[in-house]
Amino acid sequence: MVGKIVIKSELKVLTGLHIGGSDAFSAIGAIDSPVVRDSRTNRPIIPGSSLKGKLRTLLARSLAKPGEKLPKHNDDNEIILRLFGSSGEPIIKSRLQFADAFVSNANEFNSISDLTEAKFENTIKRDTSEAMPRQIERVVSGVKFNVAICYDVMNESEIFEDMQYLARAMKLLQLDYLGGHGTRGSGRVSFNDFSFELYDCNIDINKLKDIFKEVEKYELLSIQT
């Protein structure tokens, strides 16, 4: 059996977070762009694909030369390919698996509707100066999500290097944004309360704690709440 390390943390929303769901059947006057939700509880979720994609992109940017165009996914840096995988030739299995993240502090809110807000925005047509108002649904500041990332131990000599790069990507995310509308203030998040579970893997867990302790420090550089 391949050894596994499960990295768990708490993701806290610092400014309204928008990861879009389906708006195919929005009624007139309803929110134009709702957030993606868990069909069982109707609470907002963060899809694992959204978190994985953002972390991969931020890491790729950080490893590229200044002004260099990002490569196609299958041509990414060797470190990124072994962490996030490739569908090219040869196919490279991702060492990281991202679970969907669910709300962990719903009890702090009065109802499901209090977990989100409607943000009104205007798009202005340059040629006519006509305003086109719309409503964007966002997860409100203060909502927390349980994040779980499973790492497959493929080469024990590379574990701590891989963890350093994952931590680097998570630091960068705290200085960037998750989801949409980030350049207009949405999507600021922070990571806290890291914990680790080891399966068929014998490593110094204190080294893992030290690596991800550096991630938590980056909240100090984010928006204060």
**Structural domain boundaries of the chain?**
3-221
Give counts: helices (H), strands (E), the chain: 4, 8
Taken in order 53, 54, 57, 58, is the CA torsion positive or negative? negative
200: left (phi over 0), alpha (psi -120 to 50) or beta: left
Per-residue pLDDT of the chain (225 residues; tens, 9 = 90+): 689 999 999 999 999 999 987 554 444 444 668 999 999 999 999 999 999 999 999 999 999 888 788 888 888 889 999 999 998 888 899 999 999 999 999 999 999 999 999 987 656 666 665 655 678 899 999 999 999 999 999 999 999 999 999 999 999 999 999 999 888 889 999 999 999 999 999 999 999 999 999 998 876 555 554
Residue 76, exposed/middle/buried by CB under 10 A (0-12, 13-18, 19+)? buried
pLDDT of the residue at 155: 93
At position 68, the amino acid (one-letter code) is: E
Peptide bond preceding 90 in cis form (omega within 30 of 0)? yes
Rg (CA), the chain: 19
Give residue for tokens 């690596």: 211
Residue 208, exposed/middle/buried by CB under 10 A (0-12, 13-18, 19+)? buried
DSSP string, 149-173: EEEEES-GGGHHHHHHHHHHHHHHH
pLDDT of the residue at 133: 64
* DSSP code, position 26: P
pLDDT of the residue at 119: 86
